[in-house]
Amino acid sequence: RKSIIKEITDMLRGDASENEIEEASRTIKVELKDNKPLINLFIIIKYGVRIPDIAWDIQSRVKEGLMKKLGIDINEIDIHVQGIQFPKKRQSRKDLVASNLFIKVF
């Protein structure tokens, strides 16, 4: 399970430190269902991002990445949006869209 959590963290945030992996274990839950992983990701997204689009993108990237790196076939990936991160300063819509291309995992 820890290797799956590390791979997911690396995919979404870049190379993760051990401390980040420990924190990720609270926001990435891995269970087995029919001998295949069932993954629950708890995320915070940036304001202005379309939730269905980012959820689909994360599901696709995680599923393909785990299959490629670990040879694991995934049963299910569920995305749980825990909140929205609002910008600290006022931004134009164009700048908002350009700066909100990804998510905060933990």
More confident residue, 69 or 20: 69
CA distance linking residue 74 with residue 59, whole number of Å: 10
CATH classification (class only), 2-104: alpha beta
Q: What is the pLDDT of residues 32-60, one digit of tens each?
A: 888 888 889 888 887 888 888 888 888 88
Do residues 55 and 17 touch, judged by C-beta distance below 8 A? no
Reported as a pLDDT band with limits 50, 70 and 90, residue 78 is: very high
Please report the sign of the dihedral spanned by the C-alpha atoms of residue 81, residue 82, residue 88, residue 89. positive
CA distance linking residue 81 with residue 83, whole number of Å: 6
- Residue 82: predicted pLDDT: 83
103: nearest Cα among 37, 56, 67: 56
